[in-house]
C-alpha cells in the first residue's frame, strides 16, 4: 500500500481497499488504522475504504513535531488530494473525530459529502474558566507522567477503561486485548505524549458551526475515556442538523464491543439519500 508524502520528510501509510463510495477512516489515539478491522471486513465489500495512519502512529513516519490539529488536518488534505478523492464519507473515531472537525473547519467540505463522529474527543475536554464542566488538568498530567515512567503499564490500565473491562465484565478476550496493546505500542513515544497535549487542550467549539455536511454522531453512554455528556451532547447541539445515536452502556471502544450494530448504522448512513437544498 502507498506511503503518501504529506509534508517534507513526512509520509503517511494509507490502505485503499474496495470500490465505490469512498469512506475515509481516521483512527483514535493511541491506535492505528488496524483498529477498524471489524468495520472493513464488512464495509469493504460495498465501499471503497481508505484508512490512514496518523503521523507518529502505525506504519506512518514518526516526525518529532506536527501533532497539533491544524497540521494533522493538513495531512488529511494531502492524502485526499493525492488520491483525488471526492464525495468522501469522513469517519473519525475519538481523536480522529476531532481531526475531522478541524479538517472541515480548515479546508472546507469540497471533497466531503458526509461526516461520522464515533466517540469523538471534541469539542473540548480540559476544564477552563468558561468550561467549568471540563476535566481537571491533573488528570492529563498524570497520563503523561505515567507514560513517561512506564508506557506499557499505562497502556494496560488505560485499555481496561477503554473497553469497559472489569472483574465481572470482560468484553474482549485476553488475546484480543494483547493485540490492541501491540498496536498501541507501535506508536512513537513523542507522538503519544504530544497527542495527549493536543486532544486535552484543544478547543473546537467554534469548529462545530462550520460543519456543513450531514453528520452522524455515535457515542457510548458508559464512555470513561471521552465522557458522553461532555462531548456527544455538545457536538449534537453545535452541529446544525446532526443526528445522535447513543449506544446504551457502551464503552469508548464500541467499535469492537458493538461492532455489528455499528456496521449496520454506518452502512445505513452511507447509503442514505440526502435531499439537495436549493437556495
- Bond prior to 30 in cis (omega within 30° of 0): yes
Torsion angle defined by CA atoms of residues 54, 58, 88 and 37, in that order, rounded to the nearest 10 degrees? -150
Please indicate whether residue 252 is annotated as part of the active site.
yes
Question: Could you say which of 61, 207, 223, 265 is catalytic?
Answer: 223
Question: Could you say which of 94, 105, 187, 188 is catalytic?
Answer: 94
Question: Could you say which of 13, 27, 33, 252 is catalytic?
Answer: 252
Question: Rounded to the nearest 5°, which phi and psi values hold at 47?
Answer: -130, 160
Please indicate whether residue 265 is annotated as part of the active site.
no
DSSP notation for the chain:
--EEEEETTEEEEEEEESSSSEEEEEPPTT--GGGGHHHHHHHTTTSEEEEEPPTTSTTS---SS--SHHHHHHHHHHHHHHTT--SEEEEEETHHHHHHHHHHHHH-STTEEEEEEES---SB-B-BTTBTTSB-HHHHHHHHHHHHHHHHHHHHHHHHHHTT--SS---S-HHHHHHHHHHHHTS-HHHHHHHHHHHHH-B-HHHHTT--S-EEEEEETT-SSS-HHHHHHHHHHHSTT-EEEEETT--TTHHHHTHHHHHHHHHHHHH---PPPP-
Q: b vs e for 200-216, b when ≥16 Cβ sit within 10 Å of the residue's Cβ?
A: bebebbebbeebebbbb
Please indicate whether residue 94 is annotated as part of the active site.
yes
All cell numbers assigned to 49: 475504504
Give the residue numbers marked as catalytic: 94, 223, 252
Amino acid at each position: 500500500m502507498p506511503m503518501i508524502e504529506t509534508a517534507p520528510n513526512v509520509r503517511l501509510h494509507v490502505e485503499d481497499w474496495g470500490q465505490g463510495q469512498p469512506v475515509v477512516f481516521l483512527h483514535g489515539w493511541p491506535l492505528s488504522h488496524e483498529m477498524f478491522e471489524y468495520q472493513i471486513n464488512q464495509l469493504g465489500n460495498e465501499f471503497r475504504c481508505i484508512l490512514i495512519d496518523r503521523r507518529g502512529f502505525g506504519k506512518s513516519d514518526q516526525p518529532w513535531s506536527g501533532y497539533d490539529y491544524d497540521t494533522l488536518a493538513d495531512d488529511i488534505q494531502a492524502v485526499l488530494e493525492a488520491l483525488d478523492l471526492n464525495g468522501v464519507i469522513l469517519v473519525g473515531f475519538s481523536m480522529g473525530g476531532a481531526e475531522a472537525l478541524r479538517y472541515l473547519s480548515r479546508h472546507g467540505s469540497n471533497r466531503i459529502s458526509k461526516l461520522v463522529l464515533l466517540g469523538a474527543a471534541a469539542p473540548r475536554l480540559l476544564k477552563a474558566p468558561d468550561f467549568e464542566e471540563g476535566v481537571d488538568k491533573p488528570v492529563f498530567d498524570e497520563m503523561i507522567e505515567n507514560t513517561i515512567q512506564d508506557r506499557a503499564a499505562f497502556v494496560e490500565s488505560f485499555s481496561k477503561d477503554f473497553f469497559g473491562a472489569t472483574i465481572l465484565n470482560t468484553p474482549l478476550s485476553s488475546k484480543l486485548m494483547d493485540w490492541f496493546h501491540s498496536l498501541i505500542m507501535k506508536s512513537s513515544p513523542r507522538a503519544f505524549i504530544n497527542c495527549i497535549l493536543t486532544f486535552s487542550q484543544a478547543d473546537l467549539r467554534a469548529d462545530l458551526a462550520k460543519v456543513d455536511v450531514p453528520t452522524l454522531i455515535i457515542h457510548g453512554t458508559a464512555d470513561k475515556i471521552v465522557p458522553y455528556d461532555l462531548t456527544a451532547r455538545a457536538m449534537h447541539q453545535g452541529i446544525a442538523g446532526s443526528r445522535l445515536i447513543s449506544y446504551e452502556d457502551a464503552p469508548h471502544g464500541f467499535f469492537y464491543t458493538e461492532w455489528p450494530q455499528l456496521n449496520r448504522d454506518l452502512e445505513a448512513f452511507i447509503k442514505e439519500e440526502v435531499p439537495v437544498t436549493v437556495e
